[in-house]
């Protein structure tokens, strides 16, 4: 799905700012038609932001069910005759939207965009009322899954994953205008002829353009590829084709060189009807034996599993926080991260593209594991069954994969899809559930490797899903959840385990390793939760990593401390960050910086 843009033929208006807001725990608003007029008894709520921590107290923090958002926007006068679209970059986890009194769309899935053509419902120059009801409930039909319990004390949301169920309008909302006949979608697949490591490489950019609208049938497509200085390096006509770029400037880790593909729809008189600008990074990705190759060269992942998580705003996108997080990644010497455990804001991927940061892009399929759930305090009997994660979840999961690939397919930073984090993967039921989902991801994108992240409860000797993955991604907590405090035993077990995974003959990535650490707690006797223990544990892992050839990457869990649900194994959230929640370094940050940059 294309992002809104300002071009010669397109214009967008951001609806971010303060919206009117009201919680609706009893679900009264739909019957009472709260969309049909000014939202009654509303408070101010910033968009984008999670609503949970804006108001002090438990009520909104622990709210289960629907909340209402409303704003009024004026449609620019200049949009007369254009097609007008209303787009939400995300509503977590589901939403229904009205324009004026008319319901225009519903969407499930908290981290991907959705939009509706509202041309007939708006008048250029006039104000329009936009109302959205957003539902934070997680059930056995949602990704991620959860359980809503009706108790004598009210509704309670249980979930099996380890991050707080922040909700609301987390990303920008847009009104935008396009010509009626327009570029509907663009797909680019970059490649090279021959060896991408050669001195003079020819880039091959395969493109496909979809045109929609009343005159789509007669429309012509023209594409021009411009280099970063604006010079045209290739052009093509027709809705699809291949552009050759001799002496191509490759996109690479650490250098986010991108071309601009100017896509134009031409009318009968060859006049430009619509133009859209698609960034293109030319790079190749390949798994060969135990190596992960970017542009034909082995790439070793250094970085983190992260979270979209900040004080006050929760999962709300913010450019200042985003750029600061990327600057911290640069400071520490990270070259990559995983969008654990859901698709991040598109702004994040754009930034990664532009700065050569490598991304493992993950769906929101997390918490499909009874053993992990038990550690976090929720008991479930059988995860993969019709009473829990069954056909309904699988359909939602397939849709989540479709929407992720549709949104992120053109990002050069994305080199690997992760279709789930830590599902149970040793039972026949889990294999039956996942087999079609791996096939779907491969069918949707034939050019990127696909994998999932394995959990410690489904080790190499029993796991049934690694065979469907191009890359082995594992999260391991030797020295924390296993061999707690005993780093010598942990070191032996970790190495033994990695040797088993190595036998698969595929690249192995450690996608999580770490220890909870209270910033400022110091101890010289190996005390858990101390800054010293976190550093010692990471050093132990690094010794092992440097002995195992198939190991192609290390992502520490986590970049920063983050909020979770209440529980006796969490102290104001998960403290495995190497930065605190307000981004101050723990001792481990300096250790990682030394390892990853060679600086002392």
Instruction: Enumerate the active-site residues.
Output: 422, 512
Minimum CB distance to ligand BDP smaller for 371 or for 399: 371
* Residue 96 sits in the site that holds ligand BDP (CB under 6 A): no
Q: In angstroms, what is the minimal distance from the CB of 569 to ligand BDP?
A: 8
In three-state secondary structure terms, 559 is coil
Question: Which residues, 6 or more positions from 271, have their beta carbon under 8 angstroms from its beta carbon?
Answer: none
* Residue 531 sits in the site that holds ligand BDP (CB under 6 A): no
* Residue 555 sits in the site that holds ligand BDP (CB under 6 A): no
The whole-angstrom separation of Cα 290 and Cα 281 is: 25
Interface mask (CB under 6 A) for ligand BDP, residues 331-350, using x and -?
A: ----------x---------
Q: In angstroms, what is the minimal distance from the CB of 570 to ligand BDP?
A: 9
The whole-angstrom separation of Cα 166 and Cα 47 is: 14
Q: In angstroms, what is the minimal distance from the CB of 283 to ligand BDP?
A: 28
Q: In angstroms, what is the minimal distance from the CB of 537 to ligand BDP?
A: 13
* Residue 502 sits in the site that holds ligand BDP (CB under 6 A): no
Q: In angstroms, what is the minimal distance from the CB of 455 to ligand BDP?
A: 6
* Residue 510 sits in the site that holds ligand BDP (CB under 6 A): no
Here the tokens at position 122 are: 């708006």
Q: In angstroms, what is the minimal distance from the CB of 557 to ligand BDP?
A: 6
**Residue 595 CB-half CA count within 13 A:** 23
The DSSP bridge pattern shows strands 450-454 and 414-421 to be parallel
Q: In angstroms, what is the minimal distance from the CB of 491 to ligand BDP?
A: 20
* Residue 424 sits in the site that holds ligand BDP (CB under 6 A): no
* Residue 418 sits in the site that holds ligand BDP (CB under 6 A): no
Q: Are 282 and 248 in contact (CB under 8 A)?
A: yes
Minimum CB distance to ligand BDP smaller for 251 or for 480: 480
* Residue of 63, 87, 407, 576 that binds ligand BDP (CB under 6 A): 576
Here the tokens at position 460 are: 């190499």
* Residue of 131, 475, 530, 563 that binds ligand BDP (CB under 6 A): 475
* Residue 207 sits in the site that holds ligand BDP (CB under 6 A): no
Minimum CB distance to ligand BDP smaller for 136 or for 563: 563
Applying the rule CB under 6 A, the residues between 157 and 186 that interact with ligand BDP are 162
Residue given tokens 């939207």 in the structure block: 97
Q: Packing angle between helix 531-545 and helix 487-502, nearest 10 degrees?
A: 30
* Residue of 274, 353, 361, 422 that binds ligand BDP (CB under 6 A): 422
* Residue of 96, 284, 421, 425 that binds ligand BDP (CB under 6 A): 421
Minimum CB distance to ligand BDP smaller for 114 or for 557: 557
Site for ligand BDP (CB under 6 A): how many residues? 10
Q: In angstroms, what is the minimal distance from the CB of 335 to ligand BDP?
A: 21
E strand residue ranges, 136-219: 146-151, 154-159, 173-178, 182-193, 202-212
Minimum CB distance to ligand BDP smaller for 212 or for 456: 456
Here the tokens at position 228 are: 């970063």
Residue given tokens 């035993």 in the structure block: 489
Minimum CB distance to ligand BDP smaller for 162 or for 264: 162
Residue given tokens 């991604």 in the structure block: 473
Minimum CB distance to ligand BDP smaller for 361 or for 422: 422
Minimum CB distance to ligand BDP smaller for 245 or for 453: 453
Distances (CA, A) of 386 to 147, 436, 444, 586: 14, 17, 27, 44
Interface mask (CB under 6 A) for ligand BDP, residues 433-472, using x and -?
A: ----------------------------------------
* Residue 372 sits in the site that holds ligand BDP (CB under 6 A): yes
Q: In angstroms, what is the minimal distance from the CB of 163 to ligand BDP?
A: 6
Q: Packing angle between helix 391-408 and helix 428-444, nearest 10 degrees?
A: 30
For every residue of 333-372, DSSP letters joined together read T--EEE-TTSPPPHHHHHHHHHHT-EEEEE-S-B---HHH
φ and ψ at residue 199, rounded to 5 degrees: -65, -40
Interface mask (CB under 6 A) for ligand BDP, residues 240-279, using x and -?
A: ----------------------------------------
* Residue of 512, 531, 554, 561 that binds ligand BDP (CB under 6 A): 512
Q: In angstroms, what is the minimal distance from the CB of 151 to ligand BDP?
A: 26
The whole-angstrom separation of Cα 375 and Cα 533 is: 21
φ and ψ at residue 246, rounded to 5 degrees: -60, 145
* Residue 363 sits in the site that holds ligand BDP (CB under 6 A): no
Here the tokens at position 161 are: 């994953």
* Residue of 136, 295, 339, 574 that binds ligand BDP (CB under 6 A): 574
φ and ψ at residue 542, rounded to 5 degrees: -65, -35
Here the tokens at position 597 are: 């940059």
* Residue 517 sits in the site that holds ligand BDP (CB under 6 A): no
The whole-angstrom separation of Cα 236 and Cα 222 is: 6
Minimum CB distance to ligand BDP smaller for 19 or for 342: 342
* Residue 508 sits in the site that holds ligand BDP (CB under 6 A): no
Here the tokens at position 215 are: 């005159």
Residue number with the smallest Cβ distance to ligand BDP: 162
Minimum CB distance to ligand BDP smaller for 12 or for 338: 338
Minimum CB distance to ligand BDP smaller for 476 or for 593: 476
Instruction: Read off the DSSP letter of residue 500.
Output: H
The whole-angstrom separation of Cα 121 and Cα 114 is: 17
Closest by Cα among 65, 64, 20, 16 to 40: 20
Q: Mind spelling out the 3-state secondary structure of 262-283?
A: EEEEECCCCCEEEEEEEEECCC
Closest by Cα among 25, 136, 117 to 79: 117
In three-state secondary structure terms, 197 is coil
The whole-angstrom separation of Cα 371 and Cα 175 is: 44
Q: In angstroms, what is the minimal distance from the CB of 453 to ligand BDP?
A: 7
* Residue of 557, 559, 560, 581 that binds ligand BDP (CB under 6 A): 557
* Residues lying near ligand BDP in the complex (CB under 6 A): 162, 341, 372, 421-422, 475, 512, 557, 574, 576
């Amino acid at each position: 799905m294309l992002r809104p843009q300002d071009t010669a033929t397109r214009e967008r208006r951001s609806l971010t700012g303060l919206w009117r807001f009201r919680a609706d725990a009893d679900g009264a608003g739909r019957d009472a038609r709260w969309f049909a007029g000014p939202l009654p008894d509303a408070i101010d709520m910033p968009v984008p932001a999670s609503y949970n921590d804006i108001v002090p107290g438990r009520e909104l923090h622990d709210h289960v069910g629907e909340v209402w958002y409303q704003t009024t926007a004026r449609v620019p006068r200049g949009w007369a005759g254009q097609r007008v679209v209303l787009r939400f970059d995300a509503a977590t986890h589901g939403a229904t939207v009205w324009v004026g009194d008319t319901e225009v769309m519903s969407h499930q899935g908290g981290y991907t965009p959705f939009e509706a053509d509202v041309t007939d419902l708006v008048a250029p120059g006039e104000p329009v009322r936009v109302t959205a009801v957003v539902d934070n409930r997680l059930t056995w039909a949602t990704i991620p899954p959860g359980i809503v319990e009706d108790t004598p004390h009210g509704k309670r949301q249980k979930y099996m994953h380890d991050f707080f169920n922040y909700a609301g309008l987390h990303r920008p909302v847009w009104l935008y205008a396009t010509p009626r006949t327009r570029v509907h979608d663009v797909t680019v697949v970059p490649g090279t002829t021959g060896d991408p490591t050669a001195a003079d490489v020819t880039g091959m950019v395969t493109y496909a353009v979809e045109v929609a609208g009343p005159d789509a049938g007669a429309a012509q497509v023209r594409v021009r590829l411009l280099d970063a200085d604006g010079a045209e390096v290739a052009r093509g006509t027709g809705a699809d084709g291949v552009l050759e770029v001799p002496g191509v400037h490759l996109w690479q880790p650490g250098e986010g060189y991108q071309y601009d593909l100017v896509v134009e729809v031409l009318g009968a008189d060859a006049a430009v009807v619509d133009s859209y600008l698609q960034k293109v990074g030319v790079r190749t990705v390949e798994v060969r034996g135990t190596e992960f190759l970017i542009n034909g060269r082995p790439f070793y992942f250094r970085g983190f599993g992260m979270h979209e998580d900040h004080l006050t705003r929760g999962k709300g996108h913010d450019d200042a926080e985003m750029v600061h997080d990327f600057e911290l990644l640069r400071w520490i010497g990270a070259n990559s991260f995983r969008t654990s455990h859901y698709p991040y804001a598109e702004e994040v991927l754009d930034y990664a593209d532009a700065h050569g940061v490598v991304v493992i892009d993950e769906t929101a399929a997390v918490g499909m594991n009874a053993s992990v759930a038990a550690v976090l305090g929720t008991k479930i009997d059988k995860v993969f069954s019709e009473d829990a994660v069954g056909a309904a979840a699988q359909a939602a999961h397939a849709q989540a994969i479709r929407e992720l690939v549709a949104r992120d397919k053109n990002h050069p930073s994305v080199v690997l899809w992760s279709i789930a984090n830590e599902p149970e993967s040793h039972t026949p039921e889990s294999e039956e559930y996942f087999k079609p989902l791996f096939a779907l991801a491969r069918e949707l994108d034939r050019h990127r490797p696909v994998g999932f992240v394995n959990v410690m409860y489904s080790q190499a000797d029993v796991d049934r899903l690694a065979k469907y993955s191009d890359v082995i991604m594992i999260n391991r907590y030797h020295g924390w959840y296993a061999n707690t405090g005993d780093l010598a035993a942990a070191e032996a077990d970790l190495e033994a385990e990695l040797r088993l995974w190595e036998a698969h003959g595929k690249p192995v990535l450690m996608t999580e390793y770490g220890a909870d650490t209270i910033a400022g707690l110091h101890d010289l006797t190996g005390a858990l939760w101390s800054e010293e223990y976190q550093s010692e544990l990471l050093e132990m892992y690094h010794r092992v990593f440097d002995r195992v050839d198939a190991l192609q990457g290390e992502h520490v869990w986590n970049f920063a401390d983050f909020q979770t649900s209440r529980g006796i194994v969490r102290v104001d959230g998960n403290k495995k960050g190497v930065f605190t929640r307000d981004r101050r370094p723990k001792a481990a940050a300096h250790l990682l910086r030394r390892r990853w940059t060679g600086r002392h």
